[in-house]
Each structure stands twice: as structure tokens, then as C-alpha cells.
């Protein structure tokens, strides 16, 4: 659960340049032409939050998981877009809400919003089949 911690720390430590970069990412996502671009920008948005958090260990942890996250995110967005055709719009809205809370400087609310942000995708994950092993 890197996002809640990163959001909390970014709310406490983020600089105007960090918020400007996150804002620019949202603008780019809004005008993205392909779902692949949305996925790339989505992962980049999370990169920027982790960097804004200013915690070396958190960044190392994120970097060790980032490629797997990007692959997972791309697959989830493909599945979701096949159903809703709204992944770009939903991503923009969710990232806007997360950025607004982080930018407010309220670390507790930023952590809660980071958790809510991740939980929305977790709900969409397919159930694992039950093991038949005894």
C-alpha cells in the first residue's frame, strides 16, 4: 500500500513544482489519444506522487514494484474500458480528486484518499479460484 503513504507524505512535503507536474500529467491524460497513453500517464502520475513524498526508502520500494504495477494497471484499464469506455475520463477525475487533497496539505485526508484510490481498482480485480488442495 504505497499510495496512501506516498499521498500522506506528499501532502506534508510536496513543493509547488511537484503539484505543477501532477497537474500537467492530468492535463496530458485528459487529452490522451490512446488507452496505452492513459496507462503510461497513470503510472507516471503515481511516480510523481512517490517522488513528491521525498522518502528514499518509499521510492526504492516503489521502483522495485513499478514495472509490475504498470503491467497490472494496463491490463485492468483494458478490461475496464471494454465495459465502461470511460477509463480516460475516470482516471482524470480520480487523479484530480487525489491531487486536490494532496495539495490541501491535509496529510490524514491525503492518506485516506490514496487508500480509496487504490481500493477502487482492487474491487475490479478478478477473484482467484479457490484451491482444491486439502
* DSSP assignment of 81-122: HHHHS-HHHHHHHHHHHHHHHHHHT-HHHHHHHHHHHHHHHH
Render pLDDT for 8-22 as a digit per residue (tens, 0 to 9): 999 999 999 999 999
Quote the pTM value.
0.89
For the cut 70, the answer to whether the pLDDT of residue 123 exceeds it is: no
Render pLDDT for 76-91 as a digit per residue (tens, 0 to 9): 999 999 999 999 999 9
Render pLDDT for 30-69 as a digit per residue (tens, 0 to 9): 999 999 999 999 999 999 999 999 999 999 999 999 999 9
Which domains are delineated in the chain?
2-122 (1.20.120.530)
Amino acid at each position: 500500500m504505497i499510495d496512501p503513504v506516498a499521498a500522506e507524505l506528499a501532502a506534508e512535503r510536496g513543493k509547488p513544482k511537484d503539484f505543477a507536474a501532477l497537474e500537467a500529467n492530468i492535463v496530458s491524460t485528459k487529452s490522451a489519444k490512446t488507452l496505452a497513453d492513459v496507462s503510461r500517464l497513470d503510472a507516471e502520475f503515481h511516480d510523481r506522487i512517490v517522488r513528491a513524498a521525498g522518502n528514499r526508502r518509499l521510492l526504492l520500494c516503489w521502483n522495485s514494484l513499478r514495472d509490475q504495477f504498470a503491467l497490472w494497471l494496463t491490463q485492468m484499464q483494458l478490461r475496464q474500458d471494454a465495459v465502461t469506455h470511460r477509463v480516460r475520463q475516470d482516471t482524470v477525475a480520480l487523479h484530480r480528486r487525489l491531487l486536490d487533497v494532496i495539495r490541501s496539505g491535509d496529510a490524514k485526508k491525503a492518506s485516506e484518499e490514496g487508500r480509496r484510490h487504490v481500493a477502487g481498482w482492487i474491487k475490479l480485480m478478478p477473484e482467484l479460484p479457490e484451491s482444491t488442495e486439502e
